Amino acid sequence: MPDSDNMSNSLRGSKFRPEFHFTPARHWMNDPNGLVFLDGEYHLFYQYNPNACKWGNIGWGHAVSRDLIRWTELGEALPATEHGMAFTGSAVVDSKNTSGLGGGDTSAIIAIYTHQATSGGRAVQAQHLAWSIDRGRSWQHYGDNPVLDIGSDAFRDPKVFWHEQSRRWIMAIVLADEHQVQFYSSTNLLQWEYLSSFGPGGNTEGEWECPDLFPLPIEGEPGNRSWVLKVDSTLGSVAGGSGGQYFIGDFDGTRFRAESEATPVDYGGDFYAAMTWSNLPGDRRVWLAWMSNWNYASATPTEPWRGVQSLPRSLKLVKNDSGLCLAQQPVDELKSLRKRHRRLIDIELVTGKPLPLEDSSSKTLELHVQFGVDADALLALRLLRSSGSVTTVNFDAAAGELAVDRRRTAAAPFHADFPARHRGPLRAVEGRVSIRLLLDHSCLEVFGGKGETVISDLLFADGAADGIAIECERGQAVIRQLDLWHLAV
């Protein structure tokens, strides 16, 4: 496996490859796994097939970064063996050496993941433990695996965290077919006891996968926090196919009680299996997700790799007119990529007269616009324009809606489910709305408001683009402030 720093130019420059989103140099990647921070280093493990650009032979790939943005690929950490594959799981730093697996002064990284074996023609999903005492560079398998096995073929994706109040480890894990998240506890990461179950609830099409449970501070209410339970579904998500939903509520160390409706994590087609980092300093909470969708993941037109992770996003809870909700924003570290900057202030948009942004044809950019709008305004931000093809971001004040339309994004058709318009709720507050978008070749992430509504979509736009144009198509709107940056690693 080539180190990504030494990746040849031909690989780096290959069509559609993003520059500041992580992709493996070669071959297939899906879910992020084992996200953990230790000694200044962020670890990103991921579902990886080292042999092909399609799912299969799955183990954990590994990359590290000191800033969450620039990643170095290290090769496989937990490869598939003749006994089975290493499916999704999580990692923690066992700084109190509760497992007894740490060596002297070194804290062990403990990974707990789903081992999928086949026995008598039937899949068995049991939870295995592996540990590393050299910062994830080499791994040992626990001799008494599995650490948790209920004899199920659909029991997977353990997310483990330290629960300070009850001073023990908690695992969230799904019973995929039953649409349940189960909770287990342990004092040593080796023996696990059943606590409680949550679900079914919200979207119960397909199978549930990849749960995560964490507390988040509430903006503007110092000292107050609530718990967020996130779970993904293989089908039936808001944008079609696979996607995530979250519940806000309370976790008392044993049981999670939802106090909100199920809400989509992201309104786009491509944000799946999100996972938060463990062991981050303070109460910082950051996650990223696989930018794809099981509906068409194996058909996306990239080579010699297939699969990309989203930008890492900071999480908090905010209050708006629909109550408490999750807000996501790209991590601040991303600002280190900002190069040329252009700012526009107080520009009235004239209906029917698009405003082209000079010098905006780059395929790696960040655009942040604060609009003033009347109750009827319909805005269009058109990107990646070239000879008849365009990707459009709309804000409709009357409908209270943010949307991304990739039906006219130039690309050879590769799957019937791909061309689509994705929409999420977004309201102007006191006649103002903020839209921030990050474009990185084939990855577009659009953050509405404070980040309560996010739309993440893959785009495969062939050829050069003419830059961005902004138009008010109905009602009245002004650009109060617009900031455009070219981003470069």
Question: Which residues sit at the interface with ligand FRU, rule CB under 6 A?
Answer: 30-31, 47, 58, 87-88, 114, 156-157, 209-210, 273
Nearer to ligand FRU, 154 or 218 (CB): 154
Sign of the torsion angle spanned by Cα atoms 487, 287, 146, 97: positive
User: Cβ closer to ligand FRU: 156 or 313?
Assistant: 156
Instruction: Give the integer Cα–Cα distance in Å for 398 and 251.
Output: 38
Is residue 16 a contact partner of residue 30, using CB atoms and an 8 Å limit? Answer: no
- Distance between CA 264 and CA 60 in Å, rounded? 27
Q: How far is the CB of 219 from ligand FRU (least distance, A)?
A: 31
Least separation in angstroms between residue 30's CB and ligand FRU is 5
Say how far apart CA 356 and CA 383 lie, in whole Å: 10
Q: Please state whether beta strands 286-290 and 313-320 pair in parallel, antiparallel, or not at all (unpaired).
A: antiparallel
Among candidate residues 3, 5, 31, 462, the one labeled active-site is 31
3 is catalytic: no
Kindly provide the b/e burial profile for residues 177-187, where b requires at least 16 CB atoms within 10 angstroms of the residue's own CB. Answer: ebbbbbbbbbe
Q: How many other CB atoms are found less than 10 A from the CB of residue 39?
A: 8
Signed CA dihedral, 61, 64, 69, 70: sign only: negative
Distance separating alpha carbons of residues 187 and 214, to the nearest angstrom: 19
**Shortest gap between Cβ of 15 and ligand FRU (angstroms)?**
25
Between 273 and 479, whose beta carbon lies closer to ligand FRU? 273
- Tell me how far, at minimum, the Cβ of 31 lies from ligand FRU, in Å: 5
φ/ψ of residue 167, rounded to 5 = 45, 55
Please tell me the distance from the alpha carbon of residue 281 to that of residue 41, in angstroms, as a whole number. Answer: 12
CA distances from 300 to 17, 29, 47, 76, 386 (A): 12, 12, 17, 23, 21
